[in-house]
Amino acid sequence: MLKIISVVGARPNFMKVAPIHRAVSARDDMEHLVVHTGQHYDAIMSDAFFRDLDLPKPARFLGVGSASHAQQTAKILVEFEKACLELEPDLVIVVGDVNSTMAAALVASKLNIPVAHVEAGLRSFDRTMPEEVNRAATDAVAQWAFVTEPSAIANLVSEGWPRDRVLFVGNTMIDTLVRALPEAKEQAGLDELGLEAQSYALVTIHRPSNVDDLAQLSSMVGFLEWLAEQQPVVFPLHPRTRKRLAEHGLLEKLESHTQIHALAPLPYPRFLGLMASAKLVVTDSGGIQEETTYLQVPCVTARTTTERPVTCEQGTNRLCAPEPAALREAVTAVLAGGASGTIPPYWDGLAAERIVEHIRDLRERGQLGVSRP
């Protein structure tokens, strides 16, 4: 029995790990355990994610909580090492680019446990983003790279990865989307918002560069007020964004605006339903660039770089400097002409099955042995 641990720590990780869990659990020669670091943790939302995505109860909950990057990473290093020593996995799978991803990969590598990075090789080439540092550090210690798009292959090969360890499998977040979409459309809750499909913009803003600086945050609020004059805005507030808005006296302005629906964080199915029915999405998220590409919904990303270039080259995503004038111009162009695109290769709901087949092949070739300290 091959024992596999997948690590989750923040909201996007759940969507990426859930299909892997189902694909591994369908085999009788593999065991799959989930370790939840608690990097981002809200009891109600976390329970909802496990329920909505059919994830098992975590084998270990590390409870590291929010803190500075250094403190959070240090706690994960200590606690995940204990979990690995107790559970003795044959393979650790890490996904995405959060602190939990990098810390768990480092622990497993030092314990001589093979590490597979799902969503490896993505690069924005902007080292001011913590996620970019996490991506590069994780790939530096991983043994296997499961990639979502061609740019990731080129990036890893240029960094010295042997080509046979870079495996193009597709996108497990799209696996989750494909599975959840029929029910999600029914859970969008447009009636309770007084909205109709294709009549509103969905907005998510949470990156420190957009919300931690008062001047930038104020300019984004000004843009949202302009956008609400064009069409209603649905704005689920990330906890970080809500906190910064409240600190600077801007939250009430948004919550009292008749055309802006400032909401609490939403369960995944409802958020997906709202995204699928939106006329336009404005975001600074990474994963939403991918989801809108699959859904063929126009997306304006308030960033100057993206680690997911396929969403711009083939998908419906448009990069835009996070400045009001540039955002207004981009949104006006999208509303006037929409956005066309294609779905990238292997974004078909079957990425997790490909990952498990590669793991099976690696095992049969004797490439997943563990040399325990």
| Residue 372 pLDDT | 42
Instruction: Give the single-character DSSP code of 212.
Output: T
Q: Identify residue 39 by its one-letter amino acid code.
A: Q
pLDDT at 239: 87
| Per-residue model confidence (pLDDT) at position 218 | 96
In the chain, domain spans: 2-171+347-364, 182-337
**How many Å apart are CA 300 and CA 292, to the nearest integer?**
10
Phi and psi, residue 187, nearest 5°: -100, 10
User: Residue written as tokens 């998220």?
Assistant: 285
The catalytic residue positions are 206
Tokens (6 digits) for 92: 């650790």
Note the pLDDT of residue 340: 80
What does the DSSP assignment read for 312-338?
A: HHTSSEEEE-SSHHHHHHHHHHHHHH-
Three-state secondary-structure class, residue 167: strand
Residuewise pLDDT in 10s, the chain (373 residues)? 999 999 999 888 999 999 999 999 999 999 999 999 998 766 656 677 778 888 999 999 999 988 889 999 999 999 999 999 999 999 999 999 999 999 999 999 999 999 999 999 999 999 999 999 999 999 999 999 999 999 999 999 999 999 999 999 999 999 999 999 999 999 999 999 999 999 999 999 999 999 999 999 999 999 999 999 999 999 999 988 999 999 999 999 999 999 999 999 898 999 999 999 999 999 999 999 999 999 999 999 999 999 999 999 999 999 999 999 999 999 999 988 867 899 999 999 999 999 999 999 999 998 876 544 3
Q: What are phi and psi of 69, to 5 degrees?
A: -55, -45
The three-class DSSP label of residue 14 is helix
Those residues with Cβ within 8 angstroms of residue 144's Cβ, 6 or more apart along the chain or in another chain: 114, 115, 116, 117, 165, 167, 358, 362
What is the DSSP code (8-state) at residue 127?
A: T
The per-residue pLDDT for 373 is 37
CATH superfamily label, 182-337: Glycogen Phosphorylase B; (3.40.50.2000)
The CATH topology of domain 2-171+347-364 is Rossmann fold (3.40.50)
Q: Do domains 2-171+347-364 and 182-337 have the same CATH topology?
A: yes
